[in-house]
Amino acid sequence: PAYKRVYDALTGYMFLEGIADNLSADLYPHFRKVHDFIERERGRRADSLVLVHCAAGISRSSTLCCAHLMLSRNIQFGTALALVQAARPICMPNAAFQGQLLRLEAELGLPPTKNATSAGELSAFLDDILLRNRGDGIGDDDDDDDDDDDDDDDDDDDD
């Protein structure tokens, strides 16, 4: 992309190209490289900050921030996620990235994140929290769902 050429000239810039935000994407191989980069850049000056971003600022960047916190502070995924969400509440790694962070947690010899015995259970737990925080009504049981079911039944009879 054109913007990449601009950043190539900058020092203190890392670009991870071609990593989608989907369930087949693998950020795990980049965890230590990104962590090392952040540590190196933060060590340049006492007041230095590092911006970690992705297209939406929800999943990929939060995953890398969680991994960095886990590696630098030797903390569990759940604790790292809470710290990231305290700074940016919409952050939520997708289910695949959550599994990769749990893998890192195990690799670091940390006890499993509380309330999660598997990536799937953690994903369901975090999805539930995300839906409650979004307040978008997904999963709400209301009378509209019953009306929709009746409409669907009528459509089936017409076929």
Do residues 31 and 64 lie in contact, with contact meaning Cβ atoms separated by under 8 Å? yes
54 is catalytic: yes
Among 54, 65, 66, 91, the one annotated catalytic: 54
Query: Cα(111)–Cα(120) distance, rounded to whole angstroms?
Result: 17
Q: Which residues are catalytic?
A: 54
